[in-house]
Amino acid sequence: MSSDFTLGSLYLAAFAQATSPHIGLIVPVSEGTGHLVHLRMERESMNGWVFEEKTENLSGNIFLTSLLKIHDIHTGNMTIEKLTEVAKKLPVPANDFREECGVWACRLIEELHNSGMVNLTSVRDLRKEIDDFAAGNRQFMQRNKLPNVAVSKWCS
């Protein structure tokens, strides 16, 4: 894993899909797994989107192509419990728009910023940064490759 990868830090995670990437937030708890908070599409739900928190494999995950660090554990206390608490308070959109997961993830980062847990300078630039970074990482869609890791210029 890259030197930009640190356990306990907070990352925007991008998962490859047919069109735009699926986006969530993840805190690595080991070299191989992390705690993911995100929205997932549930066709049976009246709303379409539902909130989910779960353990996600980091290694051997063919769809996880990109990790963009948005908060380093060494610069302040970001816990899984705090992340999940803020995420659960955020409204889940009542639609089935494909890119809503990224919109929701950026709203979550804004709430984390408002709570003093991260330092966000531009949500618009952060969204462009993760979209551009993920778009260049399709070659990481292999079980024998770990996701590409970078550090955000717009959030710390």
The pLDDT value given to residue 45: 62
Let me know if residue 2 belongs to a domain.
no
User: Residue 28 falls within a domain, yes or no?
Assistant: yes
Q: Quick check: is 1 in a domain?
A: no
Q: Evaluate whether residue 4 is within a structural domain.
A: no
Overall number of domains in the chain: 1
Calculate Rg over the CA atoms of the chain: 14
Encode pLDDT of 57-79 as tens digits: 998 899 999 999 999 999 987 89
Run of H or E residues at 134: helix 123-135
* DSSP assignment letter at 122: -
Tokens of 103: 């919109």
Instruction: Report pTM.
Output: 0.93
Judge whether 115 lies within some domain.
yes
Residue 148: count other Cβ atoms within 10 Å of its Cβ: 19
pLDDT on residue 140: 83
Residue 119 in any domain: the answer is: yes
Q: pLDDT tens for residues 8-57?
A: 999 999 998 767 889 999 999 998 999 999 999 887 766 689 999 999 99
| Residues in contact with 119: Cβ distance below 8 Å, sequence separation at least 6, in sequence order | 113, 155, 156
More confident: 101 or 143: 101
Q: Which domain holds residue 32?
A: 10-151
